[in-house]
Amino acid sequence: MLGNMKERIEQIRSNTWYANEGQRMIRKGAELLLLVFRAVIIVGLSYVILGPLIGIIANSLFSNSDAYSPIVYIIPQNPTLERYRLAILRMDYWNTLRNTLIYVVSLTVIQVFVCSLVGYGFARYNFPFKKVLFAFVIIMIVVPPHSIMFPLYITFRNFNPLWLAGLFTADGRGLSLLQTPYPMYIMSVLATGLRAGLYIFIFNQFFRALPKEIEEASAIDGAGAIYTYFRIMLPNAVPAIITVTIFSIVWQYNDTFYARLFLTNDNIILSRKIQSLQYNIQNLDRVMDPSISQLYVYAGVVLLIIPVVILYVLLQKQFIEGVERSGIVG
Partner 1 sequence: MNKKMSLTTKQSIKGLLFISPFLIGFGVFYLRSLIMSVQFSFSEITIGENGYDTAFIGLENYAEALTRHATFRQVLTTSVINMGVDVFLIIFFSLFMAILLNQKFRGRTLARAIFFLPVILNSEAISVAILTARAMMVGGMSPASADIAAATSTGGVDIMYYVYMFRELGLPIGLLDYVINAVGRINQVITASGVQLIIFIAALQSIPPSLYEVAKIEGATAYETFWKVTFPMVSPLIVTNVVYSFVDSFMNSEVVQLSYSTTFDLYNYALGSVFSLVSMLVVCILLFVVVSIISKYTFYQN
- Binding to partner 1 (CB under 8 A) within 173-212 occurs at 187, 189-192, 196, 198, 200-202, 205, 208-212
Among 64, 106, 271, 318, the residue binding partner 1 under the rule CB under 8 A is: 271
- Per CB under 8 A, does 220 bind partner 1? no
Nearest distance in Å: CB 186, partner 1: 9
- Per CB under 8 A, does 125 bind partner 1? yes
What's the rounded Cα separation, in Å, for the pair 156 and 146? 16
Among 184, 240, 268, 299, the residue binding partner 1 under the rule CB under 8 A is: 240
Other C-beta atoms lying within 10 Å of the C-beta of residue 205: 13
In the chain, which ranges are continuous DSSP H helix?
2-60, 64-68, 82-91, 93-124, 130-142, 149-157, 165-168, 182-189, 196-209, 213-220, 225-227, 234-236, 238-254, 257-261, 270-284, 290-325
What's the rounded Cα separation, in Å, for the pair 193 and 141? 11
Return all residues near 79 (Cβ < 8 A) that are at least 6 apart.
Answer: 61, 62, 63, 66
* Between 178 and 198, CB nearer to partner 1: 198
* Between 12 and 154, CB nearer to partner 1: 154
Closest CA to 115 of 247, 301, 303, 221: 247
- Per CB under 8 A, does 137 bind partner 1? yes
Q: What is the DSSP letter of 81?
A: S
Give residues 276-305 in contact with partner 1 (rule: CB under 8 A): 277-278, 289-291, 293-294, 297-298, 300-301, 304-305
CA quadruple 158, 161, 162, 165: dihedral sign: negative
- Per CB under 8 A, does 329 bind partner 1? yes
- Per CB under 8 A, does 150 bind partner 1? yes
Report the amino acid identity of residue 195. Answer: R
Among 33, 40, 109, 143, the residue binding partner 1 under the rule CB under 8 A is: 143
Nearest distance in Å: CB 284, partner 1: 17
Stretch that binds partner 1, among 2-10, 12-20, 92-100, 309-317 (CB under 8 A): 309-317
